[in-house]
Structure 1
Amino acid sequence: MSDDSTLRLHSIVLAALRQAGPQPLVGGLRYWSQGLAPEPDTTQEGFRDRLLGGYAGHPLVELWRRAVTAWDFAQSPPWSAAGPCTDARRTDIYALLALDDETRKVLTELVPVAVADAPTVISTEFTPWYTPAAQQSRNWYWPAYERVLERKGWNAAALAALDEATDRVVERLANPATPAIYQSKGLVVGHVQSGKTANFTGVIAKAIDSGYRLVIVLAGTLNLLRQQTQRRLDMELIGRENILRGGDETESDYADDPEWHRDGFLAHGGLPSVLGAFDIVRMTTRDNDYKRLLQGITALEFEKQEPALPLHDPRNVHRSAARLMVVKKNKTVLTKLLKDLQKIRTPLAEIPVIIIDDESDQASVNTSDPRKLREGKAERTAINGLVSSLLALLPRSQYVGYTATPFANVFIDPSDTADIFPKDFIVSLPAPAGYMGVRAFHDLDSGVPWQERTYANSQGKAHVRDIPPTAEEEDTDTLQQALDAFVLSAAIKLYREQNDPRGLSYPHHTMLVHESVRTVDHRALAERLTGLWHASGYMGPTGHARLRTLFDTDFAPVSAARADGFATPADFAEVAPHIGAACIRIGGDENPVLVVNSDKDIEQGTADFDKRSLWKILVGGAKLSRGFTVEGLTISYYRRTTTQADTLMQMGRWFGFRKGYRDLVRLYISRGESYGKKEIDLYDAFEAVCRDEESFRAELKRYAPLIDGKPQVTPAQVPPLVAQHLPWLKPTSANKMYNAELIEIRSPGTWIEPAAYPGGAPPVRRNAARWRPLLDDLGGADQLFTNPPDSSSALVRRFPARTSVVGHSRLVGVLEGLEWSRPDLFQPHLTYLKQLDGTLAKVEDWLLIAPQLVARDRFEATLLGSPPLSLAQRSRAPYSESFARVTGYEHRVAAERLINEAGSAGALVPPLRGVALLYAVLDITGDRPPIHDVVSDGVADPSRVIMAFALLPPKSAIDTQRRLVHFRAKVSALRDAPIVDVLSTHAER
């Protein structure tokens, strides 16, 4: 049997199995091979031989890689109860295919089980309609988009992950071909610079394949963002034929785009409607936002094959062309669109519409928060009104917002929930493979002491460089070093282009300097940078001497640890020949710096990554802080601050994909900078906000599993969960309140770590007095805890601790008497703990561990006559009243190990015992008094020592229902409303 016929047969079989799921392979091969000539080999031995004769990239191998990986990623398929991307799932796949052991071994070697996280979904119940059969029957634009991504280098695992993530969104939209009208609203939470556009492009492709015929993409508030999104959709989804519509190539709005002439745009092979599919009609172009159609209003008219039937009827909707527009969130533009829609003859109630709102936390939300209205942004409420009008005008419209900040206003500030609050679903996307996010720049939960951190085991040490807290004019040395890093990394990229066997190419190489939102500051900074560039002497011995030192002390050791196999110069002599070429590419036109702070900059093409290769230093403010993708970003110099957590996150332009130069990325960021009367460490502020984000995502993931087929948490119940992390974020209006009241959080085998400790002296003293009886039990000899080496360090970690065993009722008695700055934040945990007396589950006692510090500069003191305790120094997180984290990494690891080993031979903890970590904490935030003012002669002032704790209940501390969270609605008649009027609450009560 020839390779061609083998590939054809397996393609037919796998196409059938894609819809039904894996089934016996040999039977399928025999059935579909009937009538084929020459006589096919349908045995497993023949299949193995073909696979073993293949290679990476061989069509048969890739065909099976796509199929098996898609089954690996499938969420809750009817044919397997195992989780996605697990060995158990792969075992089920092989069993259903009825493969023998030898074939399983060969296939596993060629297609290893993908290691990936699935998207987290918080959703109301919905009626399934987007089935494999429905997808298979009308697939055109999604397979075309898959081919585009495959051509761009996406592997099978990445494609399968995108396929599953977009399915989770589309299946929760209303069926576009059903008579019933339902308007779903949802939110997709990605990561900053992590490929949200790829996700919503996939959602649009699947939605229009399914029957949605009007697509409205709200693409930010700036022209450059709208243009960027329009080009991406035109290139990867709409395609050349739909763009040209029979016109000449030179008439395209992309005639000046290099990718248009390099066949970078999708080609369908003909007009889709001629090939048996349907066309997409563009209502906007790259350079033109939506304009009034006037006499051309017919462009918005939807044709019907059966005029007597509504457009959404299957006999019409699947034979009609789709309309797609990418519009700016601008009052004038949206007003034009609303007026035109009201003029068309097609009844608006018949049109299946999907509205994609990119950067949905910006402008779309109705807010009266004065912080959001500074700098002339009062239009936000107007935009919200227009988006609301659009939803009201189009009854079959489905709204999907996209954001990278999970604390966006649609979560925390939904004052007008009838508009765009995600009432139906929230999808949290995992960070994609190869993405450099917060964990690429911060050592979150690192178990390695600072003095032992290296370029290999510390992200911060490898990629982050401090800008000292100095006045701007005194900061020339650090800015010069950042500029040197930009030139040196450019030279190393050119070295790799010549010497790396993978054929690397770096069309863009950029440095971002971000200090202010004021345009006058941008011009001054650009002049300063230009002057510094021309005085740097990169072509002479002085400049080379600085670059040599930077290479030897910074880039060479970091690349040695993190180059990931990419070609790396052995010494500076191998880099030096490329420095001149790098300088010419950056500043050969005498203009190494570009200011990006008005649309005019982009319209002139000065910072257009689509039209030319760009090796430049970019200076800007708001335009560079949201949505705009800075291609090739390698060096970031960042000294700007903000008082808003979500704005801070959006400024993280250094997050993203850095293929082939990850080891060269550097972030220069200010530490301990003074802004007016407020001193903020920007690096720590980023870490604090990112911790909150990660914690929130983890919380959603924890509550996402269904219980008896029903959700534990619905989107309407999410706002109180956000408030757990950022208690200062509340509904805007004084007369509004969250309707969902969190009454219980169950945490079997999961940490309970309170955050809202009081700051005033009287409650701190009273809390210390309530802990006092348990502190006496800690008077015995220290116990030594040992943690084995982890992935970040080969060293064994040990720490001493004072310990005691405390009865459950005794510990709960102490916890019940504690005072909090926000009692409602701990009460749901206390409700759970009180039920562990046998009501819900049984916990007999707790191992109380008070870790003792071993550092030479440690402080010990007694508290109200207690045994001596180590005093832990902690500061509250920026933008929050809470401590970033009280517990130590090594202490958490030891406690988790005790719980995981509970009940085994020789274990310290029996099955019904929990673990509690207890700390005497000195709050050193801001202008707190020095430690010597708190401790005198070994005695601590109890009004200044916060007794902080974390609890780890045993894994058995749950009932058979296994529900983890309980809510109640304050106004039961409005159960699905996330925000209610206080007056309504009083009226019901």
Structure 2
Amino acid sequence: MNDDLLNLHIDVLGAMSREPKDFTKIAFAVSDLEEPADGALEEFRGLLMAGQPEFTALWKQKLTFWDTVETATWSASQAGTEQRRADTYARLGFGEELRKALDTAVPLITAPKPVVLSRGFTPWYTREKGAARSFYWSAYERVLRGKGWSEAAIASLDQASHGVVERLSDPTRDDAYSARGLVVGYVQSGKTANFTGVIAKAVDAGYRLVIVLGGTLNLLRGQTQRRLDMELIGRENILRGISPDDIDSLIGVDYQDDEDWPAKFVSHGGRPSHRGAFDIERLTTRDDDYRGLGQGISALDIPKTDPARALHDPVNLHPSAARVMVVKKNKDVLASLVQDLKRVGSILGELPVLIIDDESDQASVNTNNPAKRTEGEESRTTINRLISHLLQLLPRAQYVGYTATPFANVFVDPDDTTDIFPRDFLISLPRPIGYMGVQDFHDLDSAIPSRERTFANSQEKAHVRGIYDGPDDRLLEAMDAFVLSGALKLYRIRHQGVSESKYRHHTMLVHDSVRMADHTALAQRLNAMWHESYGSSAAHERLAKLFEEDFKPVCDARSEGAQVPASYEALRPHISRARQLISSGNNPVIIVNGDKERDYEQVDLDFDRTRNVWKILVGGTKLSRGFTVEGLTVTYYRRKTQQADTLMQMGRWFGFRDQYRDLVRLYIGREEPYGKDKTLDLYEAFEAICQDEEVFRSQLAQYATVIDGEPQLTPERMLPLVSQHLALIKPSARNKMFNSELVEIRSPGKPIEPAAYPRSPERTARNAERWRPLLPVFNAAPVTLALPPDSSSPLTRTFQATTAVVAHADLISVLSQLEWEGDNHFTPHLNYLAQLDGSLATVDDWLVVAPQTTSSRRVEGRILGHGPASLVRRNRQLNKVAFGRISGLEHRRWAQQLIDDAGAEGPSAPGPLVVGSRTGVVLLYAAVEVTDDAGLRAAAPDGVADPSRVMLAFTVIPPAAANDSSLRLLRYQAKRSNSQDGS
């Protein structure tokens, strides 16, 4: 390899800073040559084609950044597109052959972008400004690369963190402004990495006090402190001038007992203040939460270069050290901080502050009932009151909350200027690359029939094992799976060369109750089971059977190149070592519960300082939020709850499982009795709630599109959209918050599927009567409709349906008379559909399609003299008035294809039904709320359906062109002050 050429490329790309420029000209300018070297680019192409890793890594970093940066001065094309890459090549002056070589070495990666809802802000944090001051961000980038992050993942984090910082107030601005924002991630998805990036960029830009609200326990707070110390603050700031060789002076300094110190802690190559940057002073340490300003108030008495100017003046701000503290959300800790800040004085008005609130929907939100508030008196919960005091004391404080369950934050009163409502921005982070979330445990969009699903094509079959009522609760099987998966990790270390650090921790989580007495009993049972069930030939027979029937076929289908033993005998030598690691200390089980800090001060709970944690963790609520269970591979979960956000936070099996995704197993409760007349299937409950969340995110993405420079949806107008999809939220929570209401939702070319059908037989019967004019659709001769092969299935799928074409006015007449359970969330959609008679856009008619179930299982019934109709089963979601998906997945895809073809240029796909650009589609179902086919037959005795039990459920897909030239999708109107219901 040509070292001189590599150094030249390093110099040239360094000189280009944030945008591409003519490579040859820059190369000539930075080299010692008197004239450009002939053949340099050709030699470079040859090295790329030969796969030289140094060149590939160098250009991957730069090209990925140029591909993904949101706003490019050199290209009008969107980020992540081939045209953006082509524009970059043009600026570089690269010819066709070199472009091809680079495209091969560095393929274009299109990753999802964050969804941003924001009101207007003053642009100040440009890419140029970020590049000019990037000391800590650049160091953090190096850390991420050292941890094996891909350039695409780093670029995604760069974009997301930049999007947060640019919406904060300019720390150097004269007038004080306190922004409020919320960043929404996924459970166990790396939110800490995002806010670490935000902190790095914010302190580089001038923020000089960072307060991280890091959990409600010292254990959680300490995890966050260590992460920031290791990846951002760094060795030199921790040592504060102490030589790492001065043993005596190091006594009492953090991390001397940490096996990762100092090698894995970022180094800045010297004190940052000696390298043209600024130091970071820690006001908390790994073991010590905030206890008052130990150095006295002078810790925040920041010296000024020019005393005549304010601290936020760039002359004073940029040379000053930043202060960082990680504090618990504890009333005594926060009260101490508030009291100290009150004593600091006027300098607080000049101090740019960043407050990061991790798990911001926990403890931070004011849950006091405003209806019980005494007039003229503030009514806040303790932590919320103290956070409010912080914001009032720090007029330049920027508050950014982080959570995976944002709905409590959204319900904060936006008119309360001292509270934490995200009035300025809400950012929904994309699902990270390599993340195992709900899609990896559920077959949400699978068109493959259940009987045809395999370990290879079904997430549920690969990873999920149901726990049903009966004598065998599968706890021993789950423990066997834990032993086997541990042995498989050891096998891969031995035979594949996987780093031991990759499998440093190996854990199992058992969670079936919130009661501490239950935890003790369960731990005793697990311990007894452990000592009784291993070490015999019977144990090996049991493990061999589980390996051959479960782990081997799953690994064969999903190991993605990782080695899999050919037989249990090949794995058997590693079983003993796995058992030794798990039973170290003669106790394979750790109980994680309690209300006192000492309950969590167990060595084996400290994933940072303990070399190998191979244990079974038993617990409840404290395992449900914030606490990161490293190396989690097997989860045994049976706890019940009625709260959607609580249920989501319990999903600790979500997260990153690099190089052992195929080993992950979820044992989860199925079809457990729940209440008097309810059933709770935990697995289906997770699926339903996660679907709601995904719909919410997709809605945010749809309405985040800016029209004429103005956002369609801003944070303060988001609540009506939330309530549409989360019926479990009580309607009274909305009434206290907003003076506007959502009155119209336009969905051109997109499905509209209301789901809050009436519970009462009388209202159901009235709705059936209102459908009477359109019921002749059930009389038609059935036709066979086909869905061609696509990414979801390589096979052509067919179904039968009866169809009819109805006039637009006739459909609207029916829909406008329907009754709904609870609030009528269909009204904004109906207001849109009613305008499709020429006032908004013209829709001539609608194709009504009534799909039929397969003939072998079909249950039919005549409805009000029409039909017979094919009856289908539908059930409401857990603790909600709304049903789950109404339309069948294949039916929805077929209808969507029909609409898409009608809106596309060129001929439609061939088939028995073709619609024009002014025809919409309605999928209509005769649905019964029962759990089995016997219930269907009972609803239609003698082939006649009881109209009080049959819901006419539907999905409407308007034509793609059904909108006006404004392209807006939402419309709001102000509520009248003299009407509580907004009418």
The answer to whether the aligner puts 1:549 opposite 2:548 as a matched pair is no
Within a 5 Å distance, the mapping from 1:543-622 to structure 2 comes to: 543-598=539-594, 599-612=597-610, 613-622=612-621
Q: Is the 8 A contact 2:777 2:848 kept in 1?
A: no
Distance between the aligned counterparts of 2:608 and 2:944, measured in 1? Answer: 66
Distance between the aligned counterparts of 1:121 and 1:610, measured in 2? Answer: 34
CA deviation after TM superposition for structure 1 residue 755, in Å? 1.5
Residue 782 of structure 1: aligned partner: 782
Residue 437 of structure 1: aligned partner: 437
1:182 pairs with one of 177, 199, 213: 177
Distance between the aligned counterparts of 1:630 and 1:732, measured in 2? Answer: 37
The answer to whether the aligner puts 1:942 opposite 2:944 as a matched pair is no
What is the number of residues matched between the two proteins? 958
CA deviation after TM superposition for structure 1 residue 16, in Å? 4.3
The answer to whether the aligner puts 1:461 opposite 2:457 as a matched pair is no
Q: Is the 8 A contact 1:301 1:345 kept in 2?
A: no
Within a 5 Å distance, the mapping from 1:49-448 to structure 2 comes to: 49-55=46-52, 57-58=53-54, 60-247=55-242, 248-261=249-262, 263-293=263-293, 296-345=296-345, 347-368=347-368, 381-411=381-411, 416=416, 418-448=418-448
Q: Provide, for residues 272-329 of structure 1, a one-character-per-residue CA deviation record: whole Å limited to 9, x for no partner.
A: 1011110000000001000022662212221211111111000000010000000000
2:515 pairs with one of 505, 518, 522: 518
Letter in 1 for 2:388: S
Q: Percent identity?
A: 55
Distance between the aligned counterparts of 2:651 and 2:821, measured in 1? Answer: 31
Q: Is the 8 A contact 1:748 1:957 kept in 2?
A: yes
Letter in 2 for 1:252: V
Evaluate the alpha carbon distance shift between residue 987 and residue 492 of structure 1 in structure 2; reply closer, same or farther with a 3 A threshold.
closer
Q: Provide, for residues 692-727 of structure 1, a one-character-per-residue CA deviation record: whole Å limited to 9, x for no partner.
A: 100000000001111011111000011111100112
Q: Is the 8 A contact 1:757 1:946 kept in 2?
A: yes
Q: Is the 8 A contact 1:366 1:415 kept in 2?
A: no
Letter in 2 for 1:259: D
CA deviation after TM superposition for structure 1 residue 879, in Å? 2.6
Residue 27 of structure 2: aligned partner: 29
User: Structure 1: 5+ residue runs without aligned partners?
Assistant: 371-378, 972-981
Distance between the aligned counterparts of 2:382 and 2:731, measured in 1? Answer: 19
Letter in 2 for 1:529: L
CA deviation after TM superposition for structure 1 residue 332, in Å? 0.3
Secondary structure in 2 matching 1:825: coil
Residue 703 of structure 1: aligned partner: 703
Within a 5 Å distance, the mapping from 1:603-642 to structure 2 comes to: 603-612=601-610, 613-642=612-641
Evaluate the alpha carbon distance shift between residue 53 and residue 794 of structure 1 in structure 2; reply closer, same or farther with a 3 A threshold.
closer
Distance between the aligned counterparts of 1:866 and 1:79, measured in 2? Answer: 64
1:498 pairs with one of 461, 486, 494: 494
TM-score after normalising by structure 2 = 0.94
Secondary structure in 1 matching 2:586: coil
1:910 pairs with one of 916, 925, 928: 916
Secondary structure in 2 matching 1:634: strand
Evaluate the alpha carbon distance shift between residue 988 and residue 968 of structure 1 in structure 2; reply closer, same or farther with a 3 A threshold.
closer
Residue 967 of structure 2: aligned partner: 962
Residue 376 of structure 2: aligned partner: none
Distance between the aligned counterparts of 1:409 and 1:706, measured in 2? Answer: 24
Evaluate the alpha carbon distance shift between residue 754 and residue 665 of structure 1 in structure 2; reply closer, same or farther with a 3 A threshold.
same
Q: Provide, for residues 430-460 of structure 1, a one-character-per-residue CA deviation record: whole Å limited to 9, x for no partner.
A: 1111100011111112111111111111111
Letter in 2 for 1:970: K
Distance between the aligned counterparts of 1:585 and 1:884, measured in 2? Answer: 44
Distance between the aligned counterparts of 1:652 and 1:24, measured in 2? Answer: 50
Distance between the aligned counterparts of 1:672 and 1:606, measured in 2? Answer: 34
The answer to whether the aligner puts 1:655 opposite 2:654 as a matched pair is yes
Within a 5 Å distance, the mapping from 1:802-817 to structure 2 comes to: 802-817=802-817
Letter in 1 for 2:49: L
CA deviation after TM superposition for structure 1 residue 872, in Å? 0.9
Distance between the aligned counterparts of 2:115 and 2:39, measured in 1? Answer: 40
Distance between the aligned counterparts of 2:801 and 2:351, measured in 1? Answer: 67
CA deviation after TM superposition for structure 1 residue 225, in Å? 0.8
Evaluate the alpha carbon distance shift between residue 674 and residue 8 of structure 1 in structure 2; reply closer, same or farther with a 3 A threshold.
same
Distance between the aligned counterparts of 1:791 and 1:132, measured in 2? Answer: 38
Q: Is the 8 A contact 2:821 2:881 kept in 1?
A: no
Distance between the aligned counterparts of 1:289 and 1:276, measured in 2? Answer: 30
Distance between the aligned counterparts of 1:540 and 1:413, measured in 2? Answer: 62
Evaluate the alpha carbon distance shift between residue 28 and residue 730 of structure 1 in structure 2; reply closer, same or farther with a 3 A threshold.
farther
Distance between the aligned counterparts of 1:194 and 1:419, measured in 2? Answer: 27
Q: Is the 8 A contact 2:852 2:858 kept in 1?
A: no
Q: Is the 8 A contact 1:463 1:666 kept in 2?
A: yes
Secondary structure in 2 matching 1:398: strand
Evaluate the alpha carbon distance shift between residue 77 and residue 828 of structure 1 in structure 2; reply closer, same or farther with a 3 A threshold.
farther
CA deviation after TM superposition for structure 1 residue 929, in Å? 9.1
Secondary structure in 1 matching 2:272: coil
Letter in 2 for 1:181: A
**Larger displacement relative to structure 2 (433-442 or 249-258):** 249-258
Distance between the aligned counterparts of 1:871 and 1:17, measured in 2? Answer: 66
Residue 843 of structure 2: aligned partner: 843
Residue 11 of structure 1: aligned partner: 10
Q: Is the 8 A contact 1:601 1:607 kept in 2?
A: no
Letter in 2 for 1:596: V
Q: Is the 8 A contact 1:413 1:730 kept in 2?
A: no
**Larger displacement relative to structure 2 (304-313 or 603-612):** 603-612
CA deviation after TM superposition for structure 1 residue 876, in Å? 0.4
Residue 979 of structure 1: aligned partner: none
CA deviation after TM superposition for structure 1 residue 967, in Å? 1.4
Evaluate the alpha carbon distance shift between residue 733 and residue 442 of structure 1 in structure 2; reply closer, same or farther with a 3 A threshold.
closer
Secondary structure in 2 matching 1:869: strand
Q: Is the 8 A contact 1:913 1:954 kept in 2?
A: yes
Evaluate the alpha carbon distance shift between residue 502 and residue 107 of structure 1 in structure 2; reply closer, same or farther with a 3 A threshold.
farther
CA deviation after TM superposition for structure 1 residue 199, in Å? 0.1
Q: Is the 8 A contact 1:170 1:203 kept in 2?
A: yes
Distance between the aligned counterparts of 1:592 and 1:432, measured in 2? Answer: 33
**Larger displacement relative to structure 2 (341-350 or 681-690):** 341-350
Secondary structure in 2 matching 1:179: coil
Letter in 2 for 1:574: A
**Larger displacement relative to structure 2 (198-207 or 494-503):** 494-503
Q: Provide, for residues 569-621 of structure 1, a one-character-per-residue CA deviation record: whole Å limited to 9, x for no partner.
A: 11111111111111001013210001111432432323111112100000111
Distance between the aligned counterparts of 2:673 and 2:380, measured in 1? Answer: 30
Q: Provide, for residues 103-132 of structure 1, a one-character-per-residue CA deviation record: whole Å limited to 9, x for no partner.
A: 111110011011310000000011111112
**Larger displacement relative to structure 2 (663-672 or 496-505):** 496-505
The answer to whether the aligner puts 1:645 opposite 2:644 as a matched pair is yes
Q: Is the 8 A contact 2:177 2:396 kept in 1?
A: yes
Evaluate the alpha carbon distance shift between residue 83 and residue 868 of structure 1 in structure 2; reply closer, same or farther with a 3 A threshold.
farther
Q: Provide, for residues 9-38 of structure 1, a one-character-per-residue CA deviation record: whole Å limited to 9, x for no partner.
A: 33343334343x3333333333444x4589
Distance between the aligned counterparts of 2:258 and 2:427, measured in 1? Answer: 35
Letter in 2 for 1:552: E
Distance between the aligned counterparts of 2:769 and 2:731, measured in 1? Answer: 36
Q: Is the 8 A contact 1:415 1:732 kept in 2?
A: no
Q: Provide, for residues 747-769 of structure 1, a one-character-per-residue CA deviation record: whole Å limited to 9, x for no partner.
A: 11111111221111122112111
Distance between the aligned counterparts of 1:915 and 1:61, measured in 2? Answer: 50
CA deviation after TM superposition for structure 1 residue 41, in Å? 5.0
Distance between the aligned counterparts of 1:713 and 1:841, measured in 2? Answer: 22
Q: Provide, for residues 500-548 of structure 1, a one-character-per-residue CA deviation record: whole Å limited to 9, x for no partner.
A: 14546411100000012222221111111000101112x2210000001
Q: Over aligned residues, Cα RMSD in angstroms? A: 2.2
CA deviation after TM superposition for structure 1 residue 417, in Å? 6.2
Distance between the aligned counterparts of 2:412 and 2:726, measured in 1? Answer: 9
CA deviation after TM superposition for structure 1 residue 54, in Å? 4.6
Residue 828 of structure 1: aligned partner: 828
**Larger displacement relative to structure 2 (235-244 or 61-70):** 61-70
Distance between the aligned counterparts of 1:886 and 1:731, measured in 2? Answer: 23
Within a 5 Å distance, the mapping from 1:449-488 to structure 2 comes to: 449-470=449-470, 474-475=471-472, 477-488=473-484
Secondary structure in 2 matching 1:920: strand
CA deviation after TM superposition for structure 1 residue 937, in Å? 1.2
Distance between the aligned counterparts of 1:291 and 1:369, measured in 2? Answer: 32
Distance between the aligned counterparts of 1:526 and 1:589, measured in 2? Answer: 15
Distance between the aligned counterparts of 2:305 and 2:51, measured in 1? Answer: 48
Secondary structure in 2 matching 1:273: helix
Evaluate the alpha carbon distance shift between residue 218 and residue 737 of structure 1 in structure 2; reply closer, same or farther with a 3 A threshold.
closer
